[in-house]
């Protein structure tokens, strides 16, 4: 249960970081829209621009501002979700540290077979299923033993002592007229026996049948738990691989979109490009940055899901 809580808090944190990064991207998008609007005003001032271009640039700036407002709202919502996952009152307004930007690996270092094997050895639900099956197997052996003859051995020891005093006898010489008689005896015994169960009204057979049914149920549960664990691990591993590949593609897209925007804005300022090309490039750059942010957070969330599926989440490794 605690591993699921750790996973939920971790994913909520990654989502908040993604929302915060999207807000920063939207803020940069508004700055880019302001640059296009400034270029449009400058062109109109110098008599080389048109009112239509200025209107398009103004509209683009308004759309960028709307995107920023929506991104800030999404950031607030994700902050509330994270604080709720932590079990903290939203009124306390705790400060959330930023996630250090770290490069992601190109792919997982372990094969899926190795990951599955490690998961089977680590997952608490599988360990519980193994223990339950083992306990039910032991019950079968105990029930079967009730049908077998039983040999017992017992031993005993004894010690006895006694004394007698007889008086009123005539004295003999210097002897007293009293005679004392004392005696003791040790004894011991060893018993070897065999008990053979004959008839108990079917009680032992019923116990054995119940033990076998419980063992079969435990084995079926263990099989289902293994299959579910394998399914979860494979699905999480695929999600991680897909997220890593998506992040690599998104990074390349950001580089290309940034180059396209810079070229479109420069061309528009110099009168060899259109405001439409500049605004389209600016919108595509914002979309590319958001895609990179989402793919980065998605890769981290997928890694958390894989850690939960393998039972390693919350461990020191």
Q: 68 pLDDT exceeds 90? A: yes
Asked whether 188 and 156 are in contact (CB, 8 A), the reply is yes
Based on the number of CB atoms within 10 Å of its own CB, is 47 exposed (0-12), middle (13-18) or buried (19 or more)? exposed
Q: What are the two backbone dihedrals, phi and then psi, of residue 194, each rounded to the nearest 5 degrees?
A: -135, 130
pLDDT at 311 over 80: no
Q: What is the pTM of this model?
A: 0.67
| Confidence at residue 78, expressed as pLDDT on a 0 to 100 scale | 94
* H helix or E strand, kind and range, residue 169: none
Asked whether the CA dihedral 288, 291, 297, 299 is positive or negative, the reply is negative
Q: Is the pLDDT of residue 177 over 50?
A: yes
Average pLDDT over the chain, rounded to an integer: 80
Nearest CA to 306 out of 230, 236, 243, 241 is that of 236
Distance CA 106, CA 122 (A): 26
* Domains delineated in the chain: 2-132+207-310 (1.20.1600.10)
User: Which residue in this structure is represented by tokens 């695929």?
Assistant: 238
pLDDT at 79 over 80: yes
């Amino acid at each position: 249960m605690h591993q699921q809580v750790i996973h939920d808090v971790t994913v909520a944190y990654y989502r908040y970081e993604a929302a915060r990064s999207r807000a920063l991207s939207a803020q940069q998008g508004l700055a880019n829209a302001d640059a296009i609007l400034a270029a449009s005003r400058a062109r109109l001032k110098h008599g080389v621009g048109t009112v239509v271009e200025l209107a398009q640039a103004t509209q683009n700036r308004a759309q960028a501002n709307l995107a920023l407002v929506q991104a800030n709202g999404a950031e607030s919502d994700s902050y509330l979700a994270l604080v709720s996952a932590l079990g903290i009152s939203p009124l306390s307004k705790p400060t959330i540290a930023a996630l250090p930007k770290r490069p992601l690996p190109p792919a997982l270092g372990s094969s899926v077979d190795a990951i599955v094997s490690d998961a089977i050895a680590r997952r608490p639900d599988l360990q519980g299923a193994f223990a339950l099956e083992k306990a039910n197997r032991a019950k079968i052996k105990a029930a079967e033993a009730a049908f077998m003859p039983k040999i017992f051995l017992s031993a005993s020891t004894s010690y006895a002592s006694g004394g007698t005093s007889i008086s009123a006898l005539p004295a003999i010489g210097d002897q007293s007229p009293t005679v004392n008689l004392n005696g003791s005896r040790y004894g011991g015994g060893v018993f070897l026996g065999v008990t053979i169960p004959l008839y108990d009204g079917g009680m032992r057979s019923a116990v054995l049948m119940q033990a076998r049914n419980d063992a079969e149920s435990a084995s079926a549960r263990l099989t289902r738990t293994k299959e579910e664990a394998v399914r979860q691990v494979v699905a999480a591993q695929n999600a991680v691989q897909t997220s890593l590949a998506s992040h690599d593609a998104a990074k390349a897209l950001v580089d290309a979109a940034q180059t396209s925007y810079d070229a479109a804005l420069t061309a528009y300022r110099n009168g060899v490009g259109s405001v439409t090309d500049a605004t389209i490039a600016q919108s595509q750059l914002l979309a590319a940055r958001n895609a990179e942010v989402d793919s980065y957070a998605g890769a981290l969330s997928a890694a958390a899901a894989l850690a939960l599926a393998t039972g390693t989440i919350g461990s020191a490794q």
